[in-house]
Amino acid sequence: MIFKKIFFILNIIILYSCGIYSFSGSSVPKDAKSVYIVQVKNSATLTNPEFSQTMTNSLINRFLNETKLSIKEDLSADLIFEGEVLDYTIQPISINSNENATQNRLKITIKIIYTNNLVESESFEKKFTNYTDFDSGLDFLSIEDSLNELIIEDLIESIFNDTFSNW
């Protein structure tokens, strides 16, 4: 029984260290050494002026914290991510009997252009949308940053999954 447990643990360690599997559910290409994250542009009509920078910094931090890739500042990197905020909207989603909104939704759509300079066929251009709902009685400006953080976290998770999950 103890040998089975040791065998299982050793297999997990070997698979994880070889880059075959990662506990985050994604696996960066093993030949990739560097990544360049271009400053996210803002093309949305309405947006928080800090959103683009926060999104860019969060994406960089994800790579620094969860991969062994070095961050480059030019297009010679193995992997390149370019982003653009396309939509940043607030809309009512729940109306009471007096026709007043009781719940609102902040929805953000970004376009990501991913270039894999090692395996061109894995490159893509794709839109990612995420949202969070909030009570319309709350002051939006006082909660906007925390709502953005929630959405950014989910957007980055979706980007990582679509980019590095080869299921």
Taking only the tens place, the pLDDT of each residue in 130-152 is 999 999 889 999 999 999 999 99
- Cα atoms found within 13 Å of the Cα of residue 100, Cβ hemisphere only: 5
User: Is residue 158 over pLDDT 50?
Assistant: yes
Between 115 and 166, the more confident residue is: 115
Q: Which residues of 47-82 are buried (b: 16+ CB within 10 A; e: fewer)?
A: bbeebbeebbebbeebbeeebebeebeeeebbbbbb
102 — pLDDT class (breaks 50, 70, 90): confident
Over 70: is that where the pLDDT of 24 sits? no
pLDDT reported for residue 21: 42
Residue 158, SS3 per DSSP:
helix
CA atoms within 13 A on the CB side of 42: 14
Q: Which of 2-11, 17-26, 49-58 has the highest mean pLDDT?
A: 49-58
Helix axes 51-66, 140-164, angle to 10 degrees: 40
| DSSP H stretches of helix in 18-93 | 51-66
pTM comes to 0.79
Average pLDDT across the chain, whole number: 85
